[in-house]
Structure 1
Amino acid sequence: MSTRGMTIATLLAAALAAGCTAQTGGGVEGALADGRMRHGTLAFEPCSLSAVGATAVEAQCTRFEVPEDHAAPDGRRIELAVAWIPAKGQAEPDPVFMIAGGPGQSALESYPSVAPAFSDVRRNRHVLLVDARGTGGSHPLRCSDGEGDNAFGPADDMSPDAMRAFAAQCRDTLAKDSDLRRYGTMDHVRDLDLVRAAFGAPQANLVGVSYGTRVAQQYAKAFPAQVRTVVIDGVVPNSLALGQEHARNLEDALAAQFARCRADKACLANLGDPTTQLAAVRTALQAGNLAEVRFRDPVDGGWHTQAPQFGDLAALLRMFSYQPATASTLPLLLHEAANGRYEPLMAQSRLLVASLGDMIAHGMQLSVMCGEDAADLRPDPRDSSSVLGNDMVELMQAQCAAWPVAPRADDFRTPLGGDVPVLAISGEYDPVTPPRYGEEVVKHLANGRHLVAPGQGHAVLGVGCMPKLFAQFIERADAAGIDATCLERLAAEPPFAGNYGWEP
């Protein structure tokens, strides 16, 4: 935070401690007798939001109670974790809601990693974070087996039958104090609007990332009068069944990334054609019976011994393709594995599995995808030769066969329309929500615009000049008037040409 921002915060805190109040857009902001801050009907207390690899963010936190079933308000109630990051200066009446992805990620845990992208927006707007029910601090729905492993962890059996049994065990455990049918997108949408009203805000600016873009679009459909602007980063069209096109999208992203290595003399000469290397490594791993390798855990430095499996490679290819910095290492990892050196691949795979398990509440993810997507998923013969194949579709269908769901709203797949200002942003090489998804969404919007960040991957709100463009859009509520030529300076990182990175 700048010196000026610290001064404003200090003066505001002093004024509140003296008993002053400020009227901000229908919500009274002030101090309670016990020293807590309040806004609207919500009472907050100081907290710190943290994430691995990110600077901690000072915030104000509270708990907010909602019905588990919005159609039965007198039934069981659950608490939501809510955080407020105050504006640096005089706040406009419409706060910004940052809606996390996954499905299954916590907004409070995700925000520190993207907080720098909100710096300009916070000059005159509050940021509100609500952990979606079933995630983070909002009645989390986490799944684990008898050994404590989650669905993203190591498992000897990843067959459909085993995953169905895993889901059934998780269902039986969580159903003791949760109606698993009530943890979908529309439940989260209703929660967000209740928090908006309690905060005293007449309208909200919605910022959805990845799966959060689905939430933002559904909120704008359900409560159009309460929405001032919408920003969607890594766009999921309402018409899309999550998971159906993951295999195709990854193949397209890998083809583009590997073409960049072939076009780089050093990468091609030192590491070979990544497409050829992938074919060789894939054949070896799918044949099985590879010897165990000894490798170090990248986090704690401990030694582990494990036989490489194809699942290690598939997960690494998919998740490393999300960002240019990790995608650029894939030619090197494939080169090493093709030459029998699997240690780097296994170390990175272990790091990836551990971080995914910590980030995703798998029970909430199942409640969303089983209730909203599973019925539309179909194995596609065209994907059978891809890296992911139809495994993700088949495993999701197996798990969903054991998961209780509520009927999906009839208009759930209907695109967002109307005149709400919408800024959609995509990364050129996004392997999960490619730019064509952003185009699909904005074509239905009178005041929509789609920006593509050259050379970038998934979730691009914080890259290059995008934070400035984002802040301008929130300020003006005018996507068409933004000058986005600064994005032309972005480019992908060069592919690795050896252990020390790329050659100049």
Structure 2
Amino acid sequence: MRTTRILPIAAGVIAAILLAGCNADTATAAADTASTRHFGDIGFAPCSLTGPAGGTPTEAQCGTFEVPENPAAPDGRMIALNIAWLPANDGNSVATADPVFFLAGGPGQAATEHAATVERTLEEVGKKRDIILVDQRGTGQSNPLDCRDASGAPMQLDPSDAPDIKQMVDFARRCAQGLEGRADPRFYTTTNAVRDLDAVRAALGVEQLNLLGVSYGTRVAQQYAATYPQHTRTVVLDGVAPNSLVVGGEFARTLEDALALQSEQCHELPACRERFPTDMRAQLRTVMTSLEAAPVEVDYRDSRTGELRHDTVTADAVGSLAFMFSYVPQTAALLPLMIDEAAHGRYAPLMSLVQMSGEQMQGQMTRGMQWSVLCAEDAGRYEPGAEAADTLIGGEMAEAFFAPCSVWPSGDAPQGFHQPFASDLPVLLLSGELDPVTPPRYGEQVVANLPNGRHLVLQGQGHNVSATGCMPKLLGQFIEDADADALDTGCLDALRYVPPFVHFNGWAP
């Protein structure tokens, strides 16, 4: 099945093992002598970190720290890493010496753009420990590898369009050309980002870090802990990506498995089984096959404005939506209803969601940085597998995902980069039972080499679970005591499956 429509969204939400949370813009106050605070050798000034939808700003301290773009050329071009510091807020004591470094997902997300989510997730931790967010090189305000044309205007892919592989390759080529003179994409790899993190650690004057990595950030965390074990105190991996994983190479299979679990969940509930007797995957396959043969023009309401719009719904758009909505149980609960509506020729609700999700994903990832990581660390190891051929989105998705690497300037992963993370450090691993991109089996694979590790699988949950239920409390206990086995996880038993919608008013009792 053709899957080119999936690629633009996949490069953001789907394919990137992303971090659940809102995007944000960083507004940094101008530093002056009176407002500047120092953490080690780095100066910070008050700033507010706010999301695009508004809401209460996250008050922080913001600063920069310069590192060489090419570590082998310290006198060459420098990168000013953008850093946010959330000071410990206990107020009754001096902050504990070992701060928490939050490592964002993607690849392509900026840590400072998730300050609100991080502050909530680490509410308990932040009472005694400082929290540090560093925009990884190439993201956010750390010399972003954003795509711009010759005039400097942002280049964007139309979320309602379906570019083919040739168009994506051309987009990547033009993006690389737009970076000439301001960045060399070859040096924006995980390995160099890990060097940056340790340089920041040293500049802050701290001896040890606690690491919280989500999604792709779990790769960064494992690489840092393996390279600098003496400077690592604890590690939390949320949405675990093993070092050996070819990011983007298994999405067809992991989505298929997640949809199977969601369908089983539906059929265990009498009301859901009665309303949707057909297996969700089979019904979705029928819808996509029909649309592949004949895309349907549809009138629908704009999800933001309510205005009437006209567009064409395609098989690839439906596949994209199924993947994106599988990330979070609250949106996954809509899938049976949306698919059933489409199977009966009613495409307007589904198209409204396609339009909404496509527009929301614009700008969520720094595309160039994502390619720099994936082309250096994953693309060369990808081997098409026959097992993907019979899946809903097929093997073509991975081929399209890596296609830009044919023209993107890329570096190399060092020897041993893909070896399993093996360590005696205290490590807490978290997985969502229904995660469509980093399923629990990945966590089991990694914890096998961690004698002081513990893997928690949260029932009925999707991708990235550190903010779910009582997990913030458990994170506080783990980082305080550095003992995963001592955690009393009974509070997680209260987590329940989110029941699928059986009509547009929600769940029927």
Shorter-chain TM-score above 0.5: yes
* CA deviation map 1:148-207 (0-9, x unaligned): 66357233432x222211111111112331110011111111111111111121111000
Kept in 1, the 8 Å contact 2:235–2:428? The answer is: yes
Q: State how 1:120-159 maps to structure 2 within 5 Å.
A: 120-143=124-147, 150-151=156-157, 153-158=159-164
Kept in 1, the 8 Å contact 2:173–2:408? The answer is: yes
2:359 to 354, 366, 386: 354
Write the distance in 2 (CA, Å) between the matches of 1:477 and 1:500: 45
Kept in 1, the 8 Å contact 2:191–2:413? The answer is: no
Whether 1:278 aligns to 2:279 is: no
Q: State how 1:314-353 maps to structure 2 within 5 Å.
A: 314-353=319-358
2:117 to 106, 113, 119: 113
Higher relative contact order (CA 8 A, sep 6+): 2
Specify the alignment match of 1:179 in structure 2. Answer: 184
Write the distance in 1 (CA, Å) between the matches of 2:45 and 2:330: 38
- Letter matched to residue 285 of structure 1: L
Specify the alignment match of 2:389 in structure 1. Answer: 384
* CA deviation map 1:25-64 (0-9, x unaligned): xxxxxx9843221111111111111224664211011122
- Letter matched to residue 102 of structure 1: G
More divergent stretch after superposition (169-178 vs 474-483)? 169-178
More divergent stretch after superposition (84-93 vs 346-355)? 346-355
Tell me by how many angstroms 1:304 deviates: 2.5
Write the distance in 2 (CA, Å) between the matches of 1:229 and 1:354: 37
Write the distance in 2 (CA, Å) between the matches of 1:400 and 1:439: 30
Tell me by how many angstroms 1:279 deviates: 2.5
More divergent stretch after superposition (494-503 vs 300-309)? 300-309
SS at match of 1:452: strand
Tell me by how many angstroms 1:419 deviates: 1.2
Alpha-carbon distance change, 200 to 152 in structure 1, aligned in 2, over 3 angstroms: farther
Alpha-carbon distance change, 289 to 457 in structure 1, aligned in 2, over 3 angstroms: closer
Specify the alignment match of 1:45 in structure 2. Answer: 45
Kept in 2, the 8 Å contact 1:99–1:207? The answer is: yes
Kept in 1, the 8 Å contact 2:303–2:356? The answer is: yes
1:288 to 294, 298, 313: 294
More divergent stretch after superposition (271-280 vs 413-422)? 271-280
TM-score (normalizing by structure 2): 0.89
RMSD over aligned Cα atoms: 1.8
SS at match of 1:462: coil
Write the distance in 2 (CA, Å) between the matches of 1:323 and 1:310: 22
Q: How many residues align?
A: 472
TM-score (normalizing by structure 1): 0.90
Alpha-carbon distance change, 460 to 156 in structure 1, aligned in 2, over 3 angstroms: closer
Specify the alignment match of 2:253 in structure 1. Answer: 248
Write the distance in 2 (CA, Å) between the matches of 1:213 and 1:384: 29
Tell me by how many angstroms 1:297 deviates: 2.4
Alpha-carbon distance change, 171 to 210 in structure 1, aligned in 2, over 3 angstroms: same
Kept in 2, the 8 Å contact 1:144–1:151? The answer is: no
SS at match of 1:153: coil
Q: State how 1:55-454 maps to structure 2 within 5 Å.
A: 55-89=56-90, 90-143=94-147, 150-151=156-157, 153-158=159-164, 160-273=165-278, 274-290=280-296, 292-454=297-459
Tell me by how many angstroms 1:336 deviates: 1.3
Kept in 2, the 8 Å contact 1:234–1:433? The answer is: yes
* CA deviation map 1:84-108 (0-9, x unaligned): 0000122101100011001101111
Listed as ranges, the gaps of 5+ residues in structure 1 are: 1-30
Percent of paired sites with the same residue: 47
Kept in 2, the 8 Å contact 1:152–1:356? The answer is: no
Write the distance in 2 (CA, Å) between the matches of 1:336 and 1:50: 37
Specify the alignment match of 2:27 in structure 1. Answer: none
Write the distance in 2 (CA, Å) between the matches of 1:340 and 1:349: 16
Alpha-carbon distance change, 346 to 117 in structure 1, aligned in 2, over 3 angstroms: same
Alpha-carbon distance change, 266 to 52 in structure 1, aligned in 2, over 3 angstroms: farther
Write the distance in 1 (CA, Å) between the matches of 2:502 and 2:134: 43
Alpha-carbon distance change, 152 to 314 in structure 1, aligned in 2, over 3 angstroms: farther
